[in-house]
């Protein structure tokens, strides 16, 4: 999914003064409610161009809701301001596609290439950029491993040359080595100028690869570099229980 988003005009006093590094995204006093239930409440943060932001928190804290709000899929109160001409590639946590369909990876990508009228070499380019072999792309999507399928979804999001990637649990269902490979791949994409927003429960990978972390919960929100945010005290406030993790290992709750 690629969306072109126009910047909204907002009162200058509602935002933090602009810094030297340009911002791709500014969020100010954002709230999202479903009926009488408020999922996000007065949330404010910025994402600098070319940086990576990891969004973490317990189930129900609003991580996926935040992504849907950012792409304009939900009504909100507050300000969501993307830089002019921002193009967003989005990989949702759950894709409504039947993996038993007789559809190959190439056919899956070609459908989007045709809609966007992309050049003939675009499919080969995105497959190479995510490390998915041409042979794997000729297989039915139902026969791909979890890691291969995640790479296919990432290739799909990269089509059309987005400037921002939103990825909701990109390592879900992938083993630990595969998860490290995907995060390393995302860091490589960032080196080519992409801004990344990633929902993840893999705190060890977040600690190693994210520039900043946004912790969400119903009662506490923290935002800043991983070294400052992923502390035992903050994590216990966010998750409601002691949380330990290792920079090279698993999370233990």
Q: Where are the alpha helices (DSSP H) in the chain?
A: 63-70, 105-116, 122-130, 134-137, 146-158, 176-191, 203-209, 226-229, 232-239
The listed CATH number (1.10.287.470, 3.40.50.300, 3.90.79.10, 3.30.70.100) that belongs to domain 2-247: 3.40.50.300
Residues ≥6 apart with Cβ < 8 Å to 111: none
Domain ranges of the chain: 2-247
Would you write out the chain's pLDDT as a tens digit for each of its 253 residues?
A: 433 333 333 333 334 444 455 789 999 999 999 999 999 999 999 999 999 999 999 999 999 999 999 999 999 999 999 999 999 999 887 666 666 778 999 999 999 999 999 998 999 999 998 889 999 999 999 898 888 888 899 999 999 999 999 999 988 777 788 788 888 888 777 777 889 999 998 898 899 889 999 999 877 789 999 999 999 998 998 888 888 776 554 444 4
Q: Where are the alpha helices (DSSP H) in 192-229?
A: 203-209, 226-229
């Amino acid at each position: 999914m690629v969306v072109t988003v126009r910047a909204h005009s907002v009162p200058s006093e509602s935002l933090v003064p602009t810094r030297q590094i340009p911002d791709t995204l500014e969020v100010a006093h954002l709230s999202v409610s479903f009926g009488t239930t408020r999922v996000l409440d007065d949330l404010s943060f910025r994402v600098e161009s070319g940086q990576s932001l990891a969004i973490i928190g317990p189930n129900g804290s609003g991580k996926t809701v935040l992504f849907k709000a950012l792409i304009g899929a939900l009504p909100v109160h507050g300000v969501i301001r993307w830089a002019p001409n921002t193009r967003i590639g989005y990989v949702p946590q759950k894709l409504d596609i039947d993996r038993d369909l007789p559809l190959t990876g190439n056919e899956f990508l070609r459908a989007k290439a045709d809609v966007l009228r992309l050049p003939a070499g675009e499919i080969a380019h995105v497959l190479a950029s995510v490390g998915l072999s041409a042979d794997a792309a000729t297989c039915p999507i139902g026969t791909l491993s979890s890691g291969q399928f995640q790479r296919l979804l990432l290739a799909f999001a990269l089509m059309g040359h987005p400037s921002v990637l939103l990825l909701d649990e990109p390592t879900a269902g992938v083993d630990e080595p595969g998860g490290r490979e995907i995060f390393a791949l995302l860091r490589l994409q960032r080196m080519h100028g992409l801004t990344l927003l990633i929902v993840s429960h893999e705190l060890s990978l977040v600690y190693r690869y994210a520039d900043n972390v946004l912790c969400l919960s119903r009662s506490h929100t923290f935002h800043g570099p991983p070294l400052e945010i992923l502390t035992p005290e903050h994590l216990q406030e966010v998750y409601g229980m002691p949380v330990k993790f290792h920079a090279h290992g698993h999370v233990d709750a």
